[in-house]
Amino acid sequence: MAKYGYNYSGEWVKTGVTFGSVLSIVISFTLNKSVFWAIVHGLLTWVYVIYYILVK
């Protein structure tokens, strides 16, 4: 545990998950123009981002 009870690694995880979700939703909606697929890809987050990079 960090000094004074702060948990910096937890903040990085929260920020990373949020950024990954937004990025995958934006990419999905831009390509597919579908809210349904944007939600699905938002739930899959980084899996979709990696797939997009590999397939592109």
Q: Where are the alpha helices (DSSP H) in 1-56?
A: 8-32, 35-44, 46-55
Distance CA 11, CA 15 (A): 6
- Chain position carrying tokens 């597919």: 32
Return the pLDDT at 35: 94
Task: Provide the residue ranges of all domains of the chain, joining segments of one domain with +.
Answer: 8-55
Kindly state the tokens that stand for 36: 């349904």
What confidence score (pLDDT) does residue 33 get?
95
Write out pLDDT tens, residues 1-56.
Answer: 445 555 555 555 555 567 778 888 899 999 999 999 998 888 887 777 788 888 87
Whole-angstrom distance, CA of residue 29 vs CA of residue 18 = 17
